[in-house]
Amino acid sequence: MAADKINIAIAGIGGFGRVHVRWVQSLCERGLASCVAFCETNPDRSRDLAGRLMAAGAAHYDDYSRMLRERTNIDLVVISTPIHLHKPMCIEALRSGCHVLLEKPPAVTVQDIAEMLAAQRSTGLTVQVNFQNTSGQAFRLMLQKLREQAIGKVRSVTGIGKWKRLQAYYERTPWAGRLTHDGRLVLDGTLSNPFSHLLNNCLIAAFAGEEETSLPTRVQAELYHAYDIEGDDTSCVRIDTPHGVSIRFYSTLCHGESTEPVIRVEAERGEMVWGYRNRLTITEADGRQTDYTFGEEQGVEAMYLNCFAAIRERRTELFSPLSSTYRFVASLNAALESSGPPRAIPFEYIRRQREQQSELRTIDNISAAIDEAALSGKLFSELPAPWAAPSRPFDLHGYERFQPAWLAGSGGIGNNAGAMR
């Protein structure tokens, strides 16, 4: 590795990979990196980006393993591929001697991420997961205040996300909204993908100051879908921690408009509210309020620069190391263990309308239901919402393998092997 540049290879330049290409090119233009190769099995879908990368000197491969074999000067592999390819591609990169910047979610199952962590430990290399909202100044400040117990011991952490997604969102790729794809587990849904940043930040906030290996003790979840998908587009989750903090999480993609996701932390001597727009409000028990607004952030860039620093100096603390995301994957899996297959919301509670040459589906009174549940700490069935059904809590003690009986006949259980070829 040159002292002043990190040599990067990108796996997957379509979808969110386009964002990575733009940031990598920006870093290259500033002399901080060099893009030496990229792997894309269908470059025609992103012909403009592929052309720009090759014009700048990056070699194109349609075989990931061959890229890693032939390009021996790669320092960092950026993996922005379908979810079920994250594990095998991350492990192969590590065994080839490359550090990894991995798109979220890091893995599909707890057994997957356990294998990835074992590979990382054996190689001693860096793996950063691109949960870019962990890098924002407002979120970093909130974590500092929580570790200092600025408002006392935390009692609860509540995440709320209300976004609008059209049917086209589920048509953008064959695995969107699917539990399995091509015989492999995908488990795509609100928790694992669009609102994964929000749930991950809830977990980080709730475990602030605790051991990195500390896991939730119990998860109870209700997962629903208004769209014709296998996964969920609307969810609520309650997570118990060993140190007494309750995490409550509510999300939907069936909202009439997209609003700013927020996290509310309630503690002994006040509360904190963090928002996606890089802002933090701290309200103390006596009513004193302090607002911190840091302006627009470049979260993906910050993740790259943080990763570069960790590669050069191993003592640099990563914003989102692979090890810290184990509890996120365990919580995802436990949510499905608790809920069972996501339930279809009856049509009488769904409103459908044409929009942007696609279809928008909204759920009656979903915004009010989320607000009411969040205030009370209840699940949707406990309100009760007329379309909701109760679930059972799932115990995470000794939890090492996601393999629910209801998925056994799907062909999706097994080793999520495979790579881009």
Each residue of 69-81: pLDDT tens digit? 999 999 999 999 9
Closest residue by Cα to residue 56 from 26, 80, 81, 99: 26
Q: Which domains does the chain possess?
A: 6-132 (3.40.50.720), 137-294+325-408 (3.30.360.10)
318-338, pLDDT tens digit by residue? 999 999 999 999 999 999 999
45 token code pair:
């879908």
Least confident of 211-220, 226-235, 241-250: 211-220
Radius of gyration for the chain, computed over Cα atoms and rounded to the nearest angstrom:
21
Instruction: Indicate whether 53 pLDDT > 90.
Output: yes
Of 28-32, 52-56, 186-190, 297-301, which gets the smallest average pLDDT? 297-301
pLDDT for 409 equals 56
Considering the entire predicted model, what is its pTM?
Answer: 0.94
| DSSP structure class, residue 176 | T
Each residue's pLDDT tens digit, 195-230: 999 999 999 999 998 888 889 999 999 999 999 999
Residue 241: predicted pLDDT: 97
pLDDT of residue 416: 38
Cα angle for residues 182, 186, 191 (degrees, 5° grid): 160
Please say whether the beta carbons of 38 and 13 come within 8 A.
yes
Residue-level pLDDT at 417: 37
Directed axis angle between helix 326-339 and helix 196-206, to 10°?
A: 110
CA distance 301 to 320: 14
Asked if 353 and 360 count as a contact pair (C-beta separation under 8 A), the reply is yes
Average pLDDT, rounded, for the chain: 94
Q: Using a pLDDT cut of 90, give the percent of the chain over it.
A: 90
Predicted pLDDT of residue 4: 77
Residue 245, CA distances (Å) to 19, 186, 262, 273, 384 in order: 35, 30, 18, 16, 24
Cα(141)–Cα(73) distance, integer angstroms:
37
pLDDT score, position 46: 86
In this predicted model, what pLDDT tens digit does every residue of 353-384 receive, in sequence order? 999 999 999 999 999 999 999 999 999 999 99
Phi, psi of 378 (to 5 degrees): -95, 160
Q: Are strands 154-162 and 343-344 parallel, antiparallel or unpaired?
A: unpaired
User: Residue 416 belongs to what H/E stretch?
Assistant: none
pLDDT top residue among 313 and 24 = 24
Extract the tokens encoding 182.
Answer: 């091509």
Measure the CA–CA gap between 348 and 364, rounded to whole angstroms.
9
Mean pLDDT, residues 128-149: 97
Q: Would you state the pLDDT for residue 396?
A: 97
Q: Is 376 exposed, middle or buried (0-12, 13-18, 19+ CB in 10 A)?
A: exposed
For residue 291 the two structure tokens come to 């607002």
> Among 383, 189, 336, 159, which residue's Cα sits nearest to residue 249?
159
- pLDDT category at 3 given cuts 50, 70, 90 is low
Bridge partner list, 264: 158, 273
Buried b (16+ CB within 10 A) or exposed e, 155-186: ebbbbbbbbbbbbebbeeeebbbbbbbeebbb
Cβ 364 vs Cβ 380: under 8 Å:
no
Report whether pLDDT(421) > 60: no
Q: How confident is the model at residue 413 (pLDDT cuts 50, 70, 90)?
A: very low
Q: Residue 407 above 90 pLDDT? A: no
Beta strands in 270-311 (DSSP E): 270-275, 279-284, 289-293
pLDDT score recorded for residue 13: 96
Q: Is the pLDDT of residue 1 over 70?
A: no
